[in-house]
Structure 1
Amino acid sequence: MKAYLVGGAVRDTLLNLPVRERDWVVIGETPEAMITRGYTEVGKDFPVFLHPQTKDEYALARTERKTTHGYTGFAVHATPDISLEDDLIRRDLTINAMAIMDNGEIFDPYGGQQDLANKVFRHISPAFCEDPVRVLRIARFCARYQHLGFSIAPETQELLQQMVVQGEIDHLVPERVWAETVKALGEKSPAAYFQALRDCGALARIFPELDALFGVPQPAQHHPEIDTGVHVLMVLEQATLLSDKCTVRFAALMHDLGKALTPAEKWPSHHGHETLGIDALKTLAQRLRVPNNYQKLALQVMQYHTHCHRAFELRPSTLCDMLVSIGAFKAENQLNDFLLACEADARGRTGFEQTDYPQVDYIRAAQKAAKRIDSSAISDCNIQGKQIGQEIHRLRTHEISKVKKQFTQKI
């Protein structure tokens, strides 16, 4: 049996980056022979096996032929006579089409090492356009490797645009779109994923609610970057610096969807955008099967980010209402994540990237003081029903008032 380490493991080894997973291609074998050797078959669409000890994936060398639209529309041919070079050419990018030989040398029939040196994402063959997932993958590679200076080759960029125009991108299934998006949100530069999708026209087809933000102006005194689309990507960049949680990054990206729905005659003002975007967020979440925990935080940030920004101007009772609405007094709450996304919004503006955001400390202190108040703090035994909740709210508001006074004196 001849097995060669291929794909991402080779690429990242040459880039001196940690190898996330190891994939092997097997030449000259049959499924029956692999099973006899103790490998466990796991592939549904093509022959893939798990190594009995390492559990690495070993795939039989194969070729593919396009049969219909979508990323599953392929006929797979896997026989012992398929060469390593034949297997590698069906891959997406040159930098993913290398293998490590028995002697440790790199087998590189399509110029992957040169493109690594030049930091270029380049497709191997015209067959690249047969799989719409590759649009998402190359955008995700932008998110992963942008900090190293990688960019998309002009001819590959042109091919991506053709895939969008020809409608191949429209055959992506929601689950795969979300899976690639979550991976991108966890990378070093997730904003590059959405920018790459926009550059080839795919953002308008996959995330039309986001794409609609580009070209929508905001007040220059608060947003020197003007363009709302530019702003939300800047906010995502700031969220990436503040938190490694994909839920926080997603919420930061979604918070201003309502600005695309402001009537143009009211621009650059966006009064009420906090609620205008709710339906757009729900539509996007339903279409892409976004998990509930992502939706919940994104909705909270969308509805209350301006409350957070104006925390010192709010009446203590209004701040208390906000804390109740986002569940901040519950044992399991997302207050810290909410505050991080709001801070990212405040800093995601040209010239405001290093701005202090004292609202975080104030709201945390207010929540901590008010959270100590529960039904046991009520001394009047005659209070019942709704009056209990009203009294708790009154006492919590009083505690927040004291905290506000302390912070106001500091400022």
Structure 2
Amino acid sequence: MEIYLVGGAVRDRLLGLPPGDRDWVVVGSTPEAMLSAGFRAVGRDFPVFLHPDTGEEHALARTERKSARGHRGFVVDAAPTVTLEEDLGRRDFSINAIAERPDGSLVDPHGGQADIEARVLRHVGPAFSEDPLRVLRAARFMARFAALGFTVADETGALMRGMVAGGELADLVPERVWQELVRALRSPRPSAFLRTLRDCGALAVVLPEVDALYGVPQRAEYHPEVDTGVHVELVCDMAATLAPGDDAIGFAALVHDLGKALTPDDELPKHIQHEQRGVRPVRELGARLRVPAGHRDLAVVACREHLNVHRLAELRDSTVHDLLARCDGFRRPERIGQLATVCEADKRGRTGLQDQPYPQAAELVRLRDAAAAVTGADIAHLELEGPAFGEALRKARVAAIGRARALRRDAG
């Protein structure tokens, strides 16, 4: 039995990145031998085991042979005769196909170290085209590594375009698309995920509502970047900066302007009522990808309300209250903070405006807190019930918003 450190742990060390989870490949062993050594079996599709002491994943070296369409259509061979080089040869990208021996020396049959130095994402071999999920993985790795200067190798981009043209991506299940999207939204540069998919034609397949935004013009005085698709890229990157690793905020940023793709041509470059038009495609995209309810609900709120938040200072006290209530902000205070961040990302996700202040974010949270400080106990002495009680509570909270605003004006 020979054990090697493989994959992301080796890659990230060579890139000088903080270490993450460590994965190991085991050559020359069998499931029975692993169990006898105290490992615990966890693999469903191929033999994976957890180390009895560290809990780290150890997978038997394996090869994969395409047997059907889709990312699960493979026959796996994990016999003890499978070599390390054969296992590395089935991996997606050269930077992920490097193994480290116990003495620290590397096994790198596909030039992964050279590609790390050149900052190139290159597929290992022709078997790459057998798994449509790898197109999304390429885009997701670009979301993570574009900030380090990585680009997709020309031959890899060509292969991805061929896979899309061949209809391979139609076999992807929604859950896997969502998993890759989430990981991209948690990355430093989600825009690279969108651009990589669009360059090979995959964005129109997996996120057609987002792809439809490219080429849609906006008013240059508000959006110097003009193109709505470019704006969404900037917003996603700004969201990743303001809320690193928060995929709920990232998803809301991604879909907040879907309604602009539905603007009639004779209204362009204005987008009247685009926030209302966008709710339906946000819901449809969420249903198709089986997006978690919390992500979907925040996305709908951000789509519907972002213009209201932008003009917060112009809203009446009662309108601010009703905005907070529509967002379920009194029961779910965290949603108002999330909404504020998405709106800030929208406002600052514009060419040349990335450093502009956005006081509406803090003010929205402050007004919510002022209103929420008024509870039913504060009006219990009125001895009201039903709708009358609800209206009295609303009036008291509206008054609290007014007082909070007056204090701010007096202090300013």
1:3-31 Cα offsets, whole Å, 9 max, x none, are: 11111111112112222122222222222
Whole-angstrom CA distance in 2 between matches of 1:375 and 1:53: 54
Residue segments in structure 1 that go unaligned for 5+ positions in a row: none
In the alignment, what sits opposite 2:141?
Answer: 141
SS of equivalent residue, structure 2 residue 65: strand
| Contact 1:213/1:259 (8 A) holds in 2 | yes
| Count of residues in Structure 1 that have an aligned counterpart in Structure 2 | 411
Q: How does 1:246-265 map to 2 (within 5 A)?
A: 246-265=247-266
Contact 2:94 2:111 in 1 (8 A): yes
User: 1:59-138 maps to which residues of 2 (within 5 A)?
Assistant: 59-138=59-138
Q: CA deviation at 1:382?
A: 5.9
> CA 1:53/1:405 → structure 2, altered by over 3 Å: closer, same or farther?
same
Change (3 A) 1:4 1:148: same
> 2-side partners of 1:102 and 1:396: how far apart?
65
Pair 1:243-2:243 in alignment: yes
TM-score by length of 1: 0.96
Aligned residue for 1:268?
A: 269
Given that 2:340 and 2:362 are in contact with CA atoms closer than 8 Å, whether structure 1 keeps it comes out as no
Shift of 1:378: 3.1
Give 3-state SS (helix, strand or coil) of 1:58's partner: strand
TM-score by length of 2: 0.96
126-135 or 390-399, larger mean C-alpha shift: 390-399
The answer on whether the counterparts of 2:275 and 2:304 sit within 8 Å (CA) in structure 1 is yes
Give the secondary structure class of the aligned counterpart of 2:382.
coil
Structure 1 CA distance for aligned equivalents of residues 380 and 88 of structure 2: 75
Q: Which residue of 2 aligns with 1:344?
A: 345
Correspondences of 1:296-335 after superposition (within 5 Å)? 296-330=297-331, 332-335=333-336
Shift in Å, 1:358:
1.7
**2:312 partner SS:** coil
**Equivalent residue number for residue 287 of structure 1:** 288
Q: Is the 8 A contact 1:4 1:26 kept in 2?
A: yes
How much does 1:172 deviate?
Answer: 0.7
* Distance in 2 separating the partners of 1:154 and 1:35: 44
Displacement of 1:135 = 0.8
The question of whether the paired residues in 2 share the 8 Å contact of 1:256 and 1:277 is answered with yes
- For the residues of structure 1 that align with 2:102 and 2:315, how far apart are their CA atoms? 68
Q: Give the distance between the partners of 1:214 and 1:408, measured in 2 at CA.
A: 42
Tell me how far apart the structure 2 counterparts of residues 278 and 183 of structure 1 sit (CA, whole Å).
24
SS of residue paired to 1:5: strand
Q: Partner amino acid for 2:322?
A: D
Tell me if 1:180 matches 2:180: yes
Query: Deviation digits for residues 238-295 of structure 1, max 9, x if unmatched?
Result: 1111112211111111111111111111111111111111110111111111001101
Residue 55 of structure 2 corresponds to which residue in structure 1?
55
CA distance in 2, matches of 1:331, 1:229: 31
Quote the residue 1:19 is aligned against: 19
What's the CA shift for 1:379? 7.3
User: 62-71 or 368-377: which moved more?
Assistant: 368-377
1:397 alignment counterpart: 398
Greater CA drift, 303-312 or 32-41: 32-41
CA–CA distance in structure 1, aligned partners of residues 233 and 408 of structure 2: 32
Answer whether contact 1:235 1:347 (CA < 8 A) is retained. Answer: yes
- Structure 1: distance between partners of 2:13 and 2:386: 65
**Structure 1 residues 274 and 409: CA distance shift in structure 2, 3 A:** farther
Q: What is the alpha-carbon distance in structure 1 between the residues aligned to residue 75 and residue 369 of structure 2? A: 60
- Which range moves more in the overlay, 322-331 or 311-320? 322-331
Once the 2 structures are TM-superposed, how far is the Cα of residue 34 of structure 1 from its aligned partner?
1.7
Cα 1:222/1:116, change in 2 over 3 Å: same
Deviates more, 1:178-187 or 1:122-131: 178-187
1:191 Cα shift?
Answer: 2.1
Which residue is equivalent to 2:201? 201
In structure 2, distance between residues paired with 1:159 and 1:331: 46
Q: State the superposition RMSD in angstroms.
A: 1.7
Relative to 1, partners in 2 of residues 1:6 and 1:361: Cα closer, same or farther, differing over 3 Å? closer
Would the alpha carbon gap of residues 33 and 361 (structure 1) be closer, same or farther in structure 2, given more than 3 Å must change?
Answer: closer
Task: Give distance in 2, aligned partners of 1:331 and 1:34.
Answer: 48
Deviations 1:373-399 (A, max 9, x none): 233333773644312222222222223
Give the superposition deviation at 1:139.
Answer: 0.9
**Amino acid aligned to 1:205:** V
Contact 2:336 2:364 in 1 (8 A): no
The alpha-carbon deviation at position 333 of structure 1 amounts to 3.8
Contact 2:98 2:112 survives alignment (8 Å): yes
Q: How far does residue 160 in structure 1 lie from its aligned partner after superposition?
A: 0.7
Matched, 1:222 2:222: yes
Deviation at 1:193, TM superposition (A): 1.3
> Unaligned 5+ residue runs, structure 2?
none
